Amino acid sequence: MADQSPATSYLRIMVFGAGTMGHGIALLAGKSGHMVFLVDVDSEALHRAVKLIRSHLDWFQEEKEISEPLEAVLSRIKPVQNFEDVIGSCDLIIEAITEDQILKSELFKQIAPLKSEPSIVVSNTSYLDVFALAPEKMLSRFAIAHFFVPPYLVPLVEVVGNDQTDTDVIPWLMEVLRRMGQQPIYLKRFIPGFIVNRLQRAMGREMFHLLEEGIASPEDIDAAVKASFAIRVPVVGIAQKLDLTGLDLVLKILKNPSIDLATEDRIPRILQERVDAGDYGVKTGKGLYDYGNRPMEEITRKLNRKFLAVRRFMEKGISGGSK
């Protein structure tokens, strides 16, 4: 087997899917000095991605988050539609295409014979057991690296291997991610949704329940969250928060009559209605909130400013361990 490029060197990275996540991962990797090939079956998506990357880079420069000229970073991020000629020279292949079993499975079948032997493939799937979708011969060099939107500002990456992942793959991947400024967390085995999406999904379910019951508006629910656990979560997370409450009280509350939380066996009516109306959120200018049909670029820039402010605060504002 040929050597894997060391995690400390600049790599050649191919990112499949130039949508919400793919363009952000490409930007993160390019900004970190790697050569990136961004692939999408939809040329319009690829075009949009390059425009967004340029706009984010422009903003990073304004914020003094990059010292290199914008064009130098951009020259390392190459949009490609015919990936077959380049994939064999890539060290890392990141799959961030549509969350669809058939599409992902077909792509893995295409990738397997073309990739070089030691190169590593990771999937950014949110829920799917992609290990069951990949050809057997790819499994030893295959893992999950689950990023969060926007990946160039949110540091967590959940990393999971499969039963056959070679022992060098996870440490190498974790080091590559750390060098991009990310905070990888290793999960001992695959579970759909990993840690964060499972928690977010439980909360989302109850949020739709509250909306459907007419208890509060989306804006008021968010205002409640921001004025309460948003302040505590960065300090105590959600496990240590129970120590703060007192486990005796936590137990008493759970023994009291059920509060009838939402269950998962139905699709929230409000969600279905919004999607049917084509209101997908930031990418269409309207979702649970109304953004006045402002372009995605403008909405994203405004949100990114706030994410960066929080990230900077957390990097320097909270220190001293968790106890």
Ligand X SMILES: NC(=O)c1ccc[n+]([C@@H]2O[C@H](COP(=O)([O-])OP(=O)(O)OC[C@H]3O[C@@H](n4cnc5c(N)ncnc54)[C@H](O)[C@@H]3O)[C@@H](O)[C@H]2O)c1
Q: Which residues bind ligand X (CB under 6 A)?
A: 16-22, 39-42, 45, 96-99, 103, 107, 124-126, 146-149
**Measured distance CA(305)–CA(150) in Å, rounded:** 12
Contact 29, 13 (CB under 8 A): yes
Measured from the CB atom, the residue of 17 and 155 that comes closer to ligand X is 17
Smallest distance, ligand X to C-beta of residue 174, A: 18
Measured from the CB atom, the residue of 61 and 284 that comes closer to ligand X is 284
Smallest distance, ligand X to C-beta of residue 35, A: 18
Measured from the CB atom, the residue of 5 and 20 that comes closer to ligand X is 20
Smallest distance, ligand X to C-beta of residue 310, A: 17
Measured from the CB atom, the residue of 18 and 169 that comes closer to ligand X is 18
Smallest distance, ligand X to C-beta of residue 129, A: 12
Bridge partners (DSSP) listed for residue 120: 92
Smallest distance, ligand X to C-beta of residue 299, A: 14
Smallest distance, ligand X to C-beta of residue 201, A: 12
Measured from the CB atom, the residue of 42 and 220 that comes closer to ligand X is 42
By beta carbon distance, the residue nearest ligand X is 19
Measured from the CB atom, the residue of 5 and 180 that comes closer to ligand X is 180
